[in-house]
Structure 1
Amino acid sequence: MADTQELRDRYMPQIPSIFPQIYAYEAYVNGNNIRPGQIKVGYTTRKDYMDRVHEQEGQMHIKAHVVGHWDAIKQTGDAFTDHDVHALLRNRGFMQVRDDDGKLTEFFECKIKDIEAAVQSLVSDKDISASRINNYGPRAEQAEAMEKTITSFKNQQLSDPSKTPKFLWNAKMRFGKTYTSLEMANRMDLTKILIISFKVEVKDSWKNELLGHQDFVDYQWVDVKDKSSVDACDTAKPMVAFGSFQDLLGRNDLGGIKIKNEWIHTMNWNLIIFDEYHFGAWRDRAKDMFDDGSDMELLDDAVMPITTDYMLFLSGTPFRAINVGEFLEDQIYNWTYSDEQQAKANWDDNDGINPYAAMPEMILMTYQLPEVCTQIALKGEQNEFDLNEFFRAECDLDDNGKEIYDTARFVHNNEVQRWLDIIRGKADISTEHQKAMGATKPVLPYYDITLLNTINHTLWYMHSVASCYAMKHLLESDVNKFYHDYTIVVAAGNKAGSGAAALDPVRQAMKNPVETKTITITCGKLTTGVTVRPWSAIFMLTAISTPESYFQSAFRVQSSWTVKSDNVDDLDIIKKPKCYVFDFAPNRALRQLSEYACGLNTDYTKSAEEKVGEFIKFLPVLAFDGTGMSPINATELLDYVASGTTATLLARKWDSALLVNVSNEMIQAIIDDSEARDAIMSIEGFRNMNSDVFETIINRSNAIKDKKTKDTGDKTTDKKTKKEISEEEKELKSQRKQIQENLRKFATRIPLFMYLTDEREQTLMDVITKVEPALFKKVTGIEVSDFDKLVHIGVFNSAAMNEAVAAFRRYEESSLSYTGIDKHYGEKVGLWDIAIKHEELTAMT
């Protein structure tokens, strides 16, 4: 158990108090204005800006007549300095005065209203894009991503000219995907770029990047949904067009493409950028646009009605794309949270200012709530604490049956109130028995003074709109006066708006975020595609079931927040060195972390413990189990997960597409080997299929490839051919998927065989073929000789099968150990086709 002060020292640094301000004054000597018509524009982080002004009076031997001062914080939370104001004034045509030596001073020939207008433009982040004040270049990893992508594009074109090259950037939030992808397009001299995103709110990020950076001065910005923007576009000039799936998927009354979007489909784009590619709904709703409703296991350019030379996919959590093998290894660039934090730690100060220094370290803090709270919300086969039930809310209904959110209240209001008291240290989180056993109070969000001063702005993620409003009402009630210091913003429901509109109330509530406190409550809005720098913590108060959604939301609070020092030679002041994820369902939280760490790391040479260990090296986990709070290591984390609800994890491993191989090479091997064909046809799912299905797949695949390479020059014929290809592709994918599903169903019987056999020391292959062949036939329905033939031709992925068997063994061992049985301890453990030492099992899963 860690000492509380040790936890504070390591994980909760003191945050400096700063007050970024712009000031302006006229210079007088002996009552005379020595610079008529000129105004000095300066910057300070001191609470009283006059302290800085008085210093300059002494240095310059003048008397300053202050004409204005303003907070230097944008509504986004970003700070700006006098240099930003100077740049904006220069770009608006105001003269910056030089001294007798020809050096630029901080005096401008302008009026106070001009300075105020420039400051307000910076605060609102509007009307400054045309100034193009950004001129930064790519960081090392951004340059590497561009180089690897361009090389892959060239290699793919040489390998198969008929197929559009594609590439995936698996890059975390704040990698700079917008700038880097636009910079790559610029360096490739691509002039027609289309950005398609499922999240409308990312549009402003793309627009500001394009119009605010000097490298992109030749490009037009086109908002596909804005008719005036489209009408003003000159298609003969370079352009970057942005469209959302919601708009591009819209159909007319006859089911065709909207007239206003026809130009998008008739133009040949140089590059299509698919943003926010991790969304499940992304694929489901994209079917109509890209392959006439066929399965989206693979987004294939051959059936895409929008043509392009290249495709770039952007995502922070592309789990599905990786798991189904949608991209080859040399078609993926990875830049994860661990990569970023490793680069931050390894930076050599001799190379200059650390570009990663401001990126906060994220800390996951989990809390085991007392039974008095959890007993009303236990669900599932493992009787696990369910946050959705705990925070379930109800409302009165209007005459139309719609919920009246002003009446929202929690079903378990007393327990939720107790939870609010717990997180501020006013109610016990440990039971009387635990306290009698020496339990110590953990570091709590709104109790520990160091942490309290760090999390002035937080995001609370809940299950439903009703829950969001119920929480707002409870926080603002008379019994919770402590929380009245915080402005509560509900970013949920239709009333909150969508996209950027949902963000405006948050920014308005924050005003100058170094002086205010806010709690933003959401059930999904603002959890992707936006940056709110002052957010320093997220409360996970909903039962998110996927690691993609969990960490996409968590990384909302991991954006950097810095303020310039008074001295231009000093380093930036880091306002957010750490950020926090608070979770009150420990099993769920640690399971998500384990899946996330393993899911994005496809290196089969590394064990799950190694992958998790690498991840939590930079994302520490502090766990409170009812008696004390301590950091946990990878082994402890996996043990925690294994002793809780690992059945779902196990089931997913045995239902993975990675376990079986349905490539053309494998199918051809079946065709070439009659015994292999007989073996696979003996599996239950194949018995009702025609045995010539394998030839059909190969023949159809070859025919489609031939059609793609032919160009008749006749548009009518080519259009008809494309339609034929689309139909044939659809059928081909359906047949291949059926084979894959049959093999996966067969694979799911293997855990049952392992459960029924007591043999653990030998490899599963040996047990099947040599020890218990009769049992195997009874469980799976096929002969061992047939199974052996399937293994020989490569139907099963050995590395993935070893990992799946290891997961089963560990789960089995955990279950037995829980009951006091450990009869195999000290022996070797057999996996799929290898046997490992018992102590290696933990390291592998």
Structure 2
Amino acid sequence: MGNTPNINPFKRIRPMIYAYQTPSVPDHNGWTKIGYTATQSVADRINQQSHTINVPTDLRWSEPAMYLDGSFETFTDHDFHRYLMNQRHVERTPGTEWFHIDPDPAHNEFTKFAHRNYDIASGTTYTLRDEQAAAVEMTQRYFANGGKEFLWNAKPRFGKTLTAYDLVHRMGFKNVLIVTNRPSISDSWLNDFQQFIGWQYPYLFVTDNKGVLDQHAKLSAHANEGIMTRKEYQEFLNSHSITSVSDPDYKGMIAFESLQGLKTSKYFGAYDGVDKLRWISELEFDLLIVDESQEGVDTSLTEKAFDRINRKHTLYLSGTPIQGTRPRPVRGRPDLQLDIRGRAGSEASLRRR
């Protein structure tokens, strides 16, 4: 008994967002480093970084990387970074995690972000980067020539959401369905829709997904402008006497639904499924966008659900490039794959799968 070894219990590290400064670096005055760790403690992570740059650091705050709206969904620093840049227009040193904001205001913004207690900024124009424009041009040409499926295999921070919206606009698509295995991604699609798309192009964001509707019901009326249920969308068309997509007052539909929502609907092959989302099964979409297509898509239930979506084209988006293969939500259909190295490399290669 006396020789029983002491076994240290596994220490669970929860994802954390942290903010620190480097007071001894004059060029960093007024700037804050905002990082993330999911495998180390905040102290260990900062120590690792400070050892690399060999300067003392001053940790100003750290918080769990979890939404505080009751959903218990987690996020990464990329989500908070995007909020700071797109919604609060905070300057960022390119290619780094340094933001031109003091720690206390940054913490206030984090609190708003974590509670999802903020208005979405709108009315911003955009210009695609070269690699984004190339992706749109190649995909547009492929679809216009009869192509059915296309995969964007892009590294993080490529900007898949805005680039996909630009493709929708340029091709004049009227009915688009976005499906994702992660409903929390709706933030990116909604933010970019309201900031860049909804105010200048004739589209409305339509969803019956309860999680998305509950989440964005907390925003102000202005922030929710252009977001509606399918029933509200139909009422909008009826109230404006719009009966055809060729009507000059017609507003296209950007529909959003979770993969889980589809797989539990009786209209998409679920055994003893729920009576919901029938309207999606009855429409023909110009484009189906499968976001984060590398996650949980290669199953018979998913394939069955996707087979029941009538669409002319499919665009798969992957934020985690898959070496030597591609996500196969639907088997046996040819496509093209665009491998995009990302913002820094600005390189892309096209290959047939």
- TM-score range (shorter-chain normalised) is 0.5 to 0.7
Deviation track 1:583-624 (CA, whole Å, cap 9, x = no partner) reads: xxxxxxxxxxxxxxxxx9898xxxxxxxxxxxxxxxxxxxxx
Structure 2, unmatched stretches of 5+, are 1-24, 33-57, 59-76, 91-104, 214-227, 238-250
Structure 1 residues 122, 18: CA separation in 2 closer, same or farther (over 3 Å shift)? farther
Q: Which residue of 2 is the match for residue 321 of structure 1?
A: 326
Once residues 257 and 86 of structure 2 are traced to their aligned partners in structure 1, the CA distance between those partners, rounded to angstroms, is 34
Structure 1 residues 256, 264: CA separation in 2 closer, same or farther (over 3 Å shift)? farther
CA contact (8 A) 2:265 2:275 kept: no
Q: Which residue of 1 is the match for residue 262 of structure 2?
A: 248
Once residues 190 and 602 of structure 1 are traced to their aligned partners in structure 2, the CA distance between those partners, rounded to angstroms, is 24
Letter in 2 for 1:307: N
Aligned mate of 1:166, from 127, 142, 149? 149
Alignment of 1:481-492 (within 5 A): none
Q: Which residue of 2 is the match for residue 312 of structure 1?
A: 315
Alignment of 1:520-669 (within 5 A): none
Once residues 173 and 262 of structure 1 are traced to their aligned partners in structure 2, the CA distance between those partners, rounded to angstroms, is 34
Q: Which residue of 2 is the match for residue 183 of structure 1?
A: 166
Letter in 2 for 1:245: L
Offset at 1:289? 1.2
Q: Which residue of 2 is the match for residue 336 of structure 1?
A: 341
Structure with greater helix share of residues: 1
Alignment of 1:262-281 (within 5 A): 262-281=278-297
Offset at 1:279? 2.4
Identity percentage of aligned residues: 24
Structure 1, unmatched stretches of 5+, are 1-13, 22-46, 48-72, 86-115, 158-164, 291-303, 345-599, 604-657, 659-845
Once residues 208 and 20 of structure 1 are traced to their aligned partners in structure 2, the CA distance between those partners, rounded to angstroms, is 25
Offset at 1:311? 1.0
Once residues 248 and 232 of structure 1 are traced to their aligned partners in structure 2, the CA distance between those partners, rounded to angstroms, is 20
CA contact (8 A) 1:121 1:127 kept: no
Deviation track 1:712-764 (CA, whole Å, cap 9, x = no partner) reads: xxxxxxxxxxxxxxxxxxxxxxxxxxxxxxxxxxxxxxxxxxxxxxxxxxxxx
CA contact (8 A) 1:272 1:311 kept: yes
CA contact (8 A) 2:294 2:327 kept: no
Partner SS, residue 290 of structure 2: strand
CA contact (8 A) 1:198 1:282 kept: no
Q: Which residue of 2 is the match for residue 233 of structure 1?
A: 233
Deviation track 1:532-570 (CA, whole Å, cap 9, x = no partner) reads: xxxxxxxxxxxxxxxxxxxxxxxxxxxxxxxxxxxxxxx
Alignment of 1:76-115 (within 5 A): 76-77=80-81, 79=84, 84=89
Partner SS, residue 233 of structure 2: coil
Q: Which residue of 2 is the match for residue 261 of structure 1?
A: 277
Deviation track 1:202-243 (CA, whole Å, cap 9, x = no partner) reads: 111111111121565432122331377333223743121111
Partner SS, residue 342 of structure 1: coil
Structure 1 residues 127, 322: CA separation in 2 closer, same or farther (over 3 Å shift)? closer
Structure 1 residues 20, 342: CA separation in 2 closer, same or farther (over 3 Å shift)? closer
Q: Which residue of 2 is the match for residue 199 of structure 1?
A: 182
Aligned mate of 2:135, from 138, 145, 148? 145
Deviation track 1:667-717 (CA, whole Å, cap 9, x = no partner) reads: xxxxxxxxxxxxxxxxxxxxxxxxxxxxxxxxxxxxxxxxxxxxxxxxxxx
Letter in 2 for 1:221: F
Once residues 140 and 174 of structure 1 are traced to their aligned partners in structure 2, the CA distance between those partners, rounded to angstroms, is 14
Structure 1 residues 254, 153: CA separation in 2 closer, same or farther (over 3 Å shift)? closer
Higher relative CO (CA 8 A, sep ≥ 6), structure 1 or 2? 2
Q: Which residue of 2 is the match for residue 104 of structure 1?
A: none
CA contact (8 A) 2:165 2:197 kept: no
Once residues 86 and 304 of structure 2 are traced to their aligned partners in structure 1, the CA distance between those partners, rounded to angstroms, is 48
CA contact (8 A) 2:291 2:316 kept: yes
Letter in 2 for 1:276: E
Offset at 1:180? 0.5
Structure 1 residues 139, 267: CA separation in 2 closer, same or farther (over 3 Å shift)? same
Aligned mate of 1:128, from 105, 119, 133? 119
Letter in 1 for 2:321: T
Deviation track 1:474-532 (CA, whole Å, cap 9, x = no partner) reads: xxxxxxxxxxxxxxxxxxxxxxxxxxxxxxxxxxxxxxxxxxxxxxxxxxxxxxxxxxx
Once residues 151 and 74 of structure 1 are traced to their aligned partners in structure 2, the CA distance between those partners, rounded to angstroms, is 31
Letter in 1 for 2:157: R
Once residues 312 and 254 of structure 1 are traced to their aligned partners in structure 2, the CA distance between those partners, rounded to angstroms, is 24
Once residues 310 and 81 of structure 1 are traced to their aligned partners in structure 2, the CA distance between those partners, rounded to angstroms, is 30
Offset at 1:179? 0.3
Once residues 31 and 86 of structure 2 are traced to their aligned partners in structure 1, the CA distance between those partners, rounded to angstroms, is 8
CA contact (8 A) 1:132 1:213 kept: yes
Offset at 1:136? 1.6
Once residues 287 and 306 of structure 1 are traced to their aligned partners in structure 2, the CA distance between those partners, rounded to angstroms, is 10
Letter in 1 for 2:138: K
Offset at 1:174? 1.0
Offset at 1:20? 5.3
Partner SS, residue 279 of structure 1: coil
Offset at 1:246? 0.7
Structure 1 residues 258, 83: CA separation in 2 closer, same or farther (over 3 Å shift)? closer
Once residues 311 and 111 of structure 2 are traced to their aligned partners in structure 1, the CA distance between those partners, rounded to angstroms, is 37
Offset at 1:120? 6.1
- TM-score, scaled to structure 2: 0.54
Letter in 1 for 2:178: I
CA contact (8 A) 2:131 2:346 kept: no
CA contact (8 A) 1:198 1:275 kept: yes
Alignment of 1:437-476 (within 5 A): none
Alignment of 1:780-795 (within 5 A): none
Offset at 1:309? 1.9
Q: Which residue of 2 is the match for residue 639 of structure 1?
A: none
Once residues 223 and 250 of structure 1 are traced to their aligned partners in structure 2, the CA distance between those partners, rounded to angstroms, is 16
Partner SS, residue 179 of structure 1: helix
Once residues 311 and 151 of structure 1 are traced to their aligned partners in structure 2, the CA distance between those partners, rounded to angstroms, is 14
Structure 1 residues 126, 262: CA separation in 2 closer, same or farther (over 3 Å shift)? same
Once residues 81 and 189 of structure 1 are traced to their aligned partners in structure 2, the CA distance between those partners, rounded to angstroms, is 26
CA contact (8 A) 1:75 1:123 kept: no
Partner SS, residue 144 of structure 1: helix
Structure 1 residues 245, 76: CA separation in 2 closer, same or farther (over 3 Å shift)? same
Cα RMSD after superposing both structures = 4.2
Aligned length, in residue pairs: 229
